[in-house]
Structure 1
Amino acid sequence: MLSGLCVLVVEDEPIIAADLDETVEGGLVIGPCSTITEARQGARTPRLNAAILDVNLRDGDITPVLEALLARDIPVLIYTGAELPPKLRARHPDLIVLQKPLQPGRLLLELKRVRRHAAHAASH
């Protein structure tokens, strides 16, 4: 289903990270990254196709990583138990924000949707 897809997963809760890793079955998972430092390194992966990001990690918020990914036109899903900070929502009103917990099938659907949208935008 996700064959050939390279997805950065940023999540600091081990059980949720394991679930995300399993959900992206068939694709290549970079991570799961549990710190901003790991996430920044993962965001530099050359063949990255998408990212699933938690907003608040133990060592800070995901804003610098999110900005780096968006600058590279990498499709991003925000997967959080919190609200998207107002500054981020104002800067990026089109971000898809999914609230934890979420059924794996819905997460896969949204991941495929952002990937298709990005591919469509790149072709125009």
Structure 2
Amino acid sequence: MLNGMRVLVVEDDPAIATDISDLIERAEGEVVGPVGSLREARQTVKSDQAIDAAVLDVNLGDGDITPVLETLRARHVGVVVYTGASGLPAGVGERHPDIVVLQKPVQPGRIVGEIQRARRAVSAA
């Protein structure tokens, strides 16, 4: 389904990060990470130019994901937000109305489907 797509996983809960990573691998994707902090996410995005899509938690222990999300969107990377929070940080939804926000928990098939959709959307833009 994901056919070798490189998917960055940013999630600070190790169990959830493992579940998402396993799901991506079962869907024939390649996991970048997972990383559990904003600092790690920034370093990963800076050093890895081959990210096709990302699954991002919003609230991490060292800050919200906005800077990483903005960098990924500028690079035309498909983004899916997977969070326990009520939505995107202030202003992000207005700048990126097409980003899908999934509230934890979500059926695994939905996550894979949204990763595919997000990648297609930025590829078509």
TM over 0.5: yes
- What corresponds to 2:97 in structure 1? 93
TM superposition shift of 1:120: 2.2
The code of the aligned residue for 2:35 comes to: C
SS of the residue corresponding to residue 91 of structure 2 reads helix
Structure 1 match to 2:68: 65
Cα deviation code 1:35-85 (max 9, x no counterpart) = 111101221311110011000001100011111111111110011011212
Aligned to 1:31: 33
Gaps of 5+ in 1: none
Instruction: Please name the residue that 1:78 is paired with.
Output: 81
Q: Superposition RMSD on alpha carbons, in Å?
A: 1.1
TM-score normalised to the size of structure 2? 0.91
Match of 2:17 in 1: 17
**What corresponds to 1:8 in structure 2?**
8
In structure 1, how many angstroms separate the alpha carbons of the residues matched to 2:59 and 2:113? Answer: 23
Following superposition, the deviation at residue 119 of structure 1 comes to: 2.2
Q: Which of 42, 45, 58 is equivalent to 1:43?
A: 45
1:7 shift after superposition = 0.6
Which residue, 103, 110, 114 being the options, matches 1:110? 114
Q: How many residue pairs are counted as aligned between the two chains?
A: 121
State the Cα deviation string for residues 87-119 of structure 1 (Å, max 9, x = none): 222222221111110111011111111112222
Instruction: State the identity %.
Output: 55
| TM-score of the pair, normalised by structure 1 | 0.91
Match of 2:55?
A: 52
Provide the rounded CA distance (Å) in 1 between the counterparts of 2:33 and 2:107. Answer: 20
Between the aligned partners of 2:93 and 2:123, the Cα distance in structure 1 is 23
- What 5-or-longer segments of structure 2 have no aligned partner? none
Alpha-carbon distance, 1:10 to partner:
0.2
Q: Distance in 1 between matches of 2:51 and 2:95?
A: 23
